Amino acid sequence: MESLWQIEETRFDPTQKTIHSQETVFTIGNGYFGTRGSFEEGYPHATPATLLFGVFDSVPIAKEELANTPDWTVIQLFVNGERFRLDTGTILTYQRNLQLQNGVLQRTVHWESPSGMRIHVTTERFASLADEHTGIIRYSVTSDAAQDQQTIEVSLRASINTAQGNYNLMHFETLNQGHDQNIVWLQSETKQTHVQLCQTMTFSTNAPGYQKTLIDSDIAPAIHLTGTLAPGTTLTAEKIVTMYTSRDTDLPLQTTLEHHQRLLEGNTQHTNYEQLLTQNKQAWQQFWEQADILIEGDKQAQIGVRYSIYQLRISASIHDNRYSVAAKGLTGSGYRGHIFHDTEVFMLPFYTYVLPDIARNLLLYRYHLLPAAREKATHNGYEGAQYPWESTLNGEEVTPTSIIHPETGEVVPVLNGFIELHITASIAYAVWEYWRVTGDDAFIKDYGAEILLSTALFWSSRAEKQTELDSYEITNVIGPDEWHEYVHNNAHTNYMARHNIRIALDTLNWLRTTAPERAHALEQQLHLTKQQLAQMHEVQAKLHIPQNSHTGLFEQFEGFFQLRPLDQTQYAGRKDSYQGILGVEEVQHYQIIKQADVLMMMTMMNQDFDQNTRQINWNYYFPITDHDYGSSLTPALHAIIACELGHVEEAHKLLLKGVLVDLENSRGNTPEGIHLACAGAVWQAIVSGFAGLRVTEQGYTTRPVYPQNWQRIAFRFQNKGETVQIDLRRD
């Protein structure tokens, strides 16, 4: 079954554009850091990156971004003075694969140099899941035995490269550099935010007769191994790099050095490597025991869902609740490492069901952001807490207010940070779902209730009373479908806001019963007067939700049905979104939407709706959604509702669209990082869609549907502290 655990590549072409998307695809990581799959030897135009969880620096316009650190992966090989690089000489064989079961990236190349020397090169790298601060590369070079080759001179040069940036913008500068016996160290710092990073490096071989040279340099500290290689023999060397930042410890240099020394203690380096690899494999094995989903009969879906799970794991820290999972995780510079509702709506179900400790961390991140969210609400004239559309560490709104188009130079205003409100309800929703599935009462008591009530207060003050109609409304927002701006009574926003208030009130009642002191303290702290609570009750009871009471059809927002229909057949073969084609202004006049909006709400609030209501809304909204160039969030999410409606083959198509978004770079933007919300939606599509898992107060139910070729769906999940094994087989 080996091949169901691998992402493979069999061709290298430095001129082809896939080099950048494949760098993203072959990212290794462990939640503490992520390292893109660029090559050890380096190529012009390559975009290597190692991003650390929560390590930001300032940047114009986008405010803050995960700062690309000095590249720890560099190893250059020279044979008889000729440089090993695949854009010269001849590639005889090439193979690269990412082993999902243990996070190891391997490459084997058979190469003939311009002068005719033939060598085999094998590299193997991983970011240890057992030791988050450590990255390891094993590099092997074999002189070809099949020819009449002579003994060759080999020089291997391992270094850390500080000449790195995000889209060429450098963030780190060297403070100091040196070596301590065999360990080379580099101490650097982000230029604006002054986060200190220490990296240590060793590079060693057991092969006899190799000379080791340590090269101190602020810019590219290095270790060179030089010697000779007889035909048919192999040189294997291991590079170990350890990293700590001032976010981890007050003494990052000392801590890193001590950590690295511990790794070396009493071991030859090969034992070292094997030991580190074994520990890493054990950690991954433990993870997969909890997290794997087995799909028998569909290789593409099987590998794809494992790849999605892999990505979700390497992007989230198990030890740090000061930051969350970014839209692109730690895999690229896209969206600058900012946190969106992607985390709570799309990814959090995976963590909640599979890794509840991480889910708790991600919600604690939101808890830590409450002061800033309160400030945002106050600043806008509202009560409670309003979460930013995009956030980093301190919870300030970091959505740019406008961007200058890189090609036309035109100013494009960005409204999301001002009026895309639904994220606040998404966070409350995620808290509630976490509680429902984990039963973590302590979290709710200490943190969750405060989030729920603070956000409910926001909605209660944000809703505007319509005296004549005896109702409340929420005007001038952007819903999940971001192609329509300043809309009134967006069904999604209002429905989720109402839900937010309801679960907050339920939680307060629960708290009054189970922890009356905490309830009292919270009421004091949040000024939850009787009047305030009455207002919350009234708003949730009277908040207008635009839905036809006879048919059950929601109107995405007031007036949506009056917009012009769009004849999509005119745009067959398009390579851009409808917004890109029609323009930001023009698209607003059409019933064409970027992503699931009503249908997303119906997926999230699944239990509220019957099949008829589902079907009529599906019939209306599914055809008018831009499935190809709208949002990557949508296809796999749509699969859930398609499963419920029995459109199994359609659901399967949607799932594969989600699965392949990065593996085939189908939207063209994989170079900027993985589509992590899509990975979360893929997981949800299997579990909530095809397996039909529903967790209720009484336990759980499944209602599997199988695409034609599927034989079996099996996985585990955590429910109130217990592991549940699901194993569903086609009759």
Binding site for a second copy (CB under 8 A): 42, 44-45, 60-61, 63, 74, 76, 78, 83, 157, 159, 161-165, 168-171, 173-176, 178, 189, 191, 215-220, 222, 400-404, 406, 409-411, 413
Q: Which is nearer to a second copy, 217 or 246 (CB)?
A: 217
What is the smallest separation between the CB atom of 70 and a second copy, expressed in angstroms?
9
Q: Which is nearer to a second copy, 162 or 494 (CB)?
A: 162
What is the smallest separation between the CB atom of 175 and a second copy, expressed in angstroms?
6
Is-catalytic flag, 41?
no
- What is the pairing mode between strands 196-205 and 28-29? unpaired
Q: Which is nearer to a second copy, 403 or 534 (CB)?
A: 403
What is the smallest separation between the CB atom of 492 and a second copy, expressed in angstroms?
28
Residues 350 and 343: their CA atoms lie apart, in Å, by 10
Q: Which is nearer to a second copy, 179 or 322 (CB)?
A: 179
What is the smallest separation between the CB atom of 583 and a second copy, expressed in angstroms?
19
Picking from 291, 309, 715, the residue whose alpha carbon sits closest to that of residue 725 is 715
What is the smallest separation between the CB atom of 505 and a second copy, expressed in angstroms?
37
Cβ-proximal residues to 631 (8 Å cutoff; 6+ apart), any chain: 594, 595
Q: Which is nearer to a second copy, 173 or 464 (CB)?
A: 173
Residues 299 and 415: their CA atoms lie apart, in Å, by 42
Q: Which is nearer to a second copy, 184 or 316 (CB)?
A: 184
Picking from 582, 668, 661, 622, the residue whose alpha carbon sits closest to that of residue 17 is 668
Using CB atoms within 10 Å of the CB of residue 538, give its burial: 0 to 12 exposed, 13 to 18 middle, 19+ buried. Answer: middle
| 8 Å CB contact between 112 and 89 | yes
CA-to-CA dists, residue 302 to 2, 292, 293, 330, angstroms: 12, 10, 8, 23
What is the smallest separation between the CB atom of 191 and a second copy, expressed in angstroms?
6
DSSP state string for 464-511: EEETTTTEEE--SB--SSTTS-SBSS-HHHHHHHHHHHHHHHHHHHHH
Element (H, E) at 574: none
Q: Which is nearer to a second copy, 190 or 455 (CB)?
A: 190
Residues 479 and 488: their CA atoms lie apart, in Å, by 10
Cβ-proximal residues to 240 (8 Å cutoff; 6+ apart), any chain: 134, 135, 136, 201, 202, 203, 260, 263, 264, 272, 273, 276
Element (H, E) at 622: none
What is the smallest separation between the CB atom of 111 and a second copy, expressed in angstroms?
17
Picking from 8, 38, 22, the residue whose alpha carbon sits closest to that of residue 98 is 8
| 8 Å CB contact between 501 and 454 | no
What is the smallest separation between the CB atom of 394 and a second copy, expressed in angstroms?
16
CA-to-CA dists, residue 404 to 67, 354, 603, angstroms: 22, 41, 36
Element (H, E) at 412: strand 411-413
CA-to-CA dists, residue 562 to 547, 556, 559, 566, 589, angstroms: 15, 11, 5, 12, 9
Picking from 485, 461, 315, 308, the residue whose alpha carbon sits closest to that of residue 382 is 461
Q: At what angle do helices 356-368 and 370-379 cross, to 10 degrees?
A: 40
- What is the pairing mode between strands 172-180 and 183-190? antiparallel
Q: Which is nearer to a second copy, 74 or 385 (CB)?
A: 74
Q: Which is nearer to a second copy, 413 or 668 (CB)?
A: 413
What is the smallest separation between the CB atom of 659 and a second copy, expressed in angstroms?
34
Residues 242 and 261: their CA atoms lie apart, in Å, by 10
Residues 213 and 298: their CA atoms lie apart, in Å, by 51
Choice among 9, 482, 538, 664 that is catalytic:
482
Q: Which two tokens stand for residue 565?
A: 């229909």
What is the smallest separation between the CB atom of 177 and a second copy, expressed in angstroms?
9
Q: What is the DSSP letter of 33?
A: E
Q: Which is nearer to a second copy, 102 or 333 (CB)?
A: 333
Which active-site residues does the annotation give? 482
